[in-house]
Structure 1
Amino acid sequence: MTSDLPAPLIEFTYRDDLDILVGRWGYQPDPRELPSVYQQMTDAALDNRARFWLQDIRRRTLNDPSTTEWLLTKFFPDMARRLDGRLYVAYLVGPALHNAIVNQPGYVSAEAYDDKPFAISFFGDEGAAIRWLQIQQTDKVGS
C-alpha cells in the first residue's frame, strides 16, 4: 500500500554510535521552507551536542546562492560558537548537484576552511563522507 503523503523535507537522526547528526533531505525545498528546517537542524544539533554532520542532499537539484551565503557567513559560524567547538559538515550530493556546486563562482575547497570555525566537504559516496567525519573526530578532538 502506498501513501499519498509527501516525503518530509528533511529527517534528522542522531547516530550516537558515530557521534554524527544525519539530515536526509527528501526533496528540493522552496527557499521559504528553509528557516524552519534550519531551526530544526539547530535544535537537533544542540540537543545532541553534535558538531559532526552528514547532510544527504542527493534529492536536491540546486543551491540557493543567498542561502549558501547565509550558511557560510552566519549559520555555520554561529553553530560552531553555540556548540563550543569546530563544526564539520559533510554533504552527500548527487553528480549533477556536485558538478554545479564545484563549478559555481566562489566555490572553495575543504582546505580553504582551515581558518574558519567550520569545515565543509562534498562527497558522492556516503562511506567516504562518514570516514571524513570520523577522521575529523580523531584529528580534531576538542578543537
Structure 2
Amino acid sequence: MTTETPQTLLELTHRPDLDILVGRWAYQPVEQELPAVYQHVEAVALQEDCRFWLQDIRRRTLNDPHTTGWLLNDFFPRMARQLGGRLFVAYLVGPALHASIVQHPNYISAEAYDDKPFAISFFGDEGAAIRWLQIQQTDKVH
C-alpha cells in the first residue's frame, strides 16, 4: 500500500477559461489507490460544477476491466446526476494504451454513448480532445 496522496498520483486542475477539469495521471495506479483519487475528482468536479473533463492517462499502461466497469456503470452516471447534466470525459492516451482499449472485446465507441448520461472519447492529441469538449459545451442538447 502506498502512502502517496491522490494529488501525487493525479494532478487535478480546473481551467475556468475553458470550463474543463484537467486530470494528469502521474503513473499507473494500483487498484487500492483509486477510491481516494476518485473521491478527490468527485469533490473538485462538484466544487467547480464542471461536467467537461480531460483525463491525461498517457503515463498509464493498462486499463483495469474492474475499474472500467465501475466507472461506466456507477461513477460516471452518478457524477452526471450530481452535476445536473451530461458528463463528457475526453481521455488523452498514448498509442499502446489506445490500441489496447479499442481492441478490447468490450470496447464501446463514442457513438454508443448517445443514450447515456455521459459520453467518453479517446484522443492521441490534446488539442483534439479539448476541441471535442468545447463542441460538447456549445451543443445545447446536453
TM-score (normalised: structure 2): 0.94
The residue number in structure 1 matching 2:79 is 79
1:127 aligns with: 127
> Unaligned regions of 5+ residues in structure 2, if any?
none
Mapped pair 1:89 → 2:89: yes
Q: Figure out how many residues of one structure are paired with residues of the other and give that number.
A: 138
**Does residue 66 of structure 2 align to residue 34 of structure 1?**
no
**2:105 aligned with 1:105, yes or no?**
yes
Query: Deviations along 1:71-124, whole A, 9 cap, x unmatched?
Result: 000000000000000000000000000000000011011000000000000000
State the secondary structure of the residue aligned to 2:106: coil
Structure 1 gaps of 5+ residues are none
Work out the percentage of aligned pairs sharing the same amino acid: 74
For 1:21-71, what per-residue CA distance to the aligned partner results, in whole angstroms no more than 9, with x for missing partners? Answer: 000000000010000000000001000000000000000000110000000
Cα distance in structure 2, aligned partners of 1:140 and 1:45: 21
Deviation, structure 1 residue 140: 3.5
Provide the rounded CA distance (Å) in 1 between the counterparts of 2:62 and 2:105. Answer: 14
CA RMSD of aligned residues (A): 1.5
How far, CA to CA, are the matches of 2:51 and 2:140 in structure 1? Answer: 11
Shift >2 Å, 4+ stretches: none
